[in-house]
Structure 1
């Protein structure tokens, strides 16, 4: 007696519903990163939104005090301030451009000197990186003592070679260049690290080919090494320009409120800080910070576009 079995009917086109565990396993990299991304996002978004809100109100005296919405009146008042805002903006640009230019050039020179192996190179690299160990406030206080007009070591050294004492931080015309020197002293090692990383990643073949064609050291640098290093140079400029624009601690540690008695080192950061904590003008200070924020975004956009163009 034969037993007949009915054939199994396979329904095609149906898809087994995906379980949560399968979905989580497929997107695990985003799930693990999500808490940190949300936290960082809130840290950025909330202060930004709150600052925008304050910049559109007449908030003063206390952030909890009643305030009225006044639109862009704070921005108009700030942009029409030719006594404090525009001079502070000029000092910010001068500080950033001067410090950045010296740091990039000096960083490239030092990186080229450290590029090839030599005896004791490890100790030299450690010594060059020492300024990065100290905090900017500590660096400012140290140089403030060195440049003290009465007992500072800098004027003593000038006296040994017959040069009269200089006002350094106490002079209206010398205070800002002196603080720029402090920034250069501390942050040039960072540029050296970036440049050195870029140099070590370069291939030796283009330089050897130029050497075989009879190019000297200067020609090989300007026509071979420097063009290949331009993406790295743009990265160094991008990082340092943003950091230099935001410089606050060295300036405040050396000159205090208002950037000095005559506002000689008052940048936009110092100006906004004074409006907030010295005069309690939170609406005006928020407007200054938002203008400053858009300036930084603009600089980042220009440098990023430049970097893409070079690539």
Structure 2
């Protein structure tokens, strides 16, 4: 009786031991499978559409045309390549300024001071509003006729500026709006990294006679490298796919002269203004590959520095 019971329960015990050893994967696998499907299915469908002449409706009949859509996109020097330039100009510009400002503000908030909590709350206020609401608010502020910005300039005797309505000023103005809203997120990331640092390296450099700038550049910043990389990854991904602020303020095509038309706005126009789903899908796949390449380059450089 005992031998029979042990034989019957041995497979159960074997499975129980295996499940116990791999429990972290068993518990996480349902969520991983769902997330994987949510990523894979739209991606595969977009790749398929990019290889067809689908237009008018995704349910309409379409033919397989191979890489003709990609050739058409790469040959578009009027809209596609300027949109690529604006996308990287917008991303690089806001990323540099947000990192510098974020680090400066994080260093100011690093040490305790009177009213610290209120200052932190005030800094985080831009993150509370949605990007569309932020865009509409700044659109009113930069209105050329009734906007507060031009009224302030007039008070100091400075001529009114076109801001969002100017072909050359629209993109820098929206970069300023993005910096205003998302610098607090960079502050949070960098401040979390600063608070986790030990005081011993800084104290040792202080004893050796290093000034504030030397302690920051040669001690604090190298110790913050991993945190800075995380901030760069998160903000670069987010800035690359910025759409809501641009569309809320400038509308279709990124303005009359496409002055703020990035790849996201360009692909949106192809899809919902012209219903050219094949070409729009090709633009999105190219954009996706560009993002993957940039993220790979950043992480590869991080691993290369870590191995030295």
SS at structure 2 position matched to 1:151:
coil
RMSD: 1.8
Alignment equivalent of 1:171, drawn from 166, 171, 184: 166
Task: Give the distance between the partners of 1:111 and 1:24, measured in 2 at CA.
Answer: 45
Q: Could you state the TM-score of these two structures normalised by the residue count of structure 1?
A: 0.93
Q: Which has the larger radius of gyration?
A: 1
| Higher mean C-alpha deviation, range 201-210 or range 255-264 | 201-210
| Higher mean C-alpha deviation, range 217-226 or range 28-37 | 28-37
Is 2:45 the partner of 1:50? yes
1:171-210 residue pairs with structure 2 within 5 A? 171-210=166-205
| Higher mean C-alpha deviation, range 96-105 or range 206-215 | 206-215
Structure 1 residue aligned with 2:6: none
Question: Whose helix proportion is higher, 1 or 2?
Answer: 2
SS at structure 1 position matched to 2:198:
coil
1:4-153 residue pairs with structure 2 within 5 A? 16-19=10-13, 20=15, 23-153=18-148
| Higher mean C-alpha deviation, range 199-208 or range 284-293 | 199-208
Measure how far apart 1:16 and its partner are. 3.2
Is 2:246 the partner of 1:251? yes
Task: Give the distance between the partners of 1:225 and 1:181, measured in 2 at CA.
Answer: 28
Task: Give the distance between the partners of 2:57 and 2:159, measured in 1 at CA.
Answer: 49
Measure how far apart 1:190 and its partner are. 0.4
Task: Give the distance between the partners of 2:152 and 2:60, measured in 1 at CA.
Answer: 54
Measure how far apart 1:33 and its partner are. 2.3
Q: How many equivalent residue pairs?
A: 300
Structure 2 residue aligned with 1:12: none
Deviations 1:227-252 (A, max 9, x none): 11111111111110011000000000
Deviations 1:24-55 (A, max 9, x none): 45544333322222211111000000000000
- Alpha-carbon distance change, 218 to 261 in structure 1, aligned in 2, over 3 angstroms: same
Q: Could you state the TM-score of these two structures normalised by the residue count of structure 2?
A: 0.94
Structure 1 unaligned runs (5+)? 1-8, 10-14
Is 2:304 the partner of 1:302? no
Measure how far apart 1:17 and its partner are. 2.6
Deviations 1:139-197 (A, max 9, x none): 00000000000000011111111111100000000000000001000000000001101
Task: Give the distance between the partners of 1:267 and 1:108, measured in 2 at CA.
Answer: 28
Counterpart contact for 1:230–1:310, Cα < 8 Å: no
Counterpart contact for 1:242–1:296, Cα < 8 Å: yes
Structure 2 unaligned runs (5+)? 4-8
Counterpart contact for 1:231–1:310, Cα < 8 Å: no
Task: Give the distance between the partners of 1:140 and 1:226, measured in 2 at CA.
Answer: 34
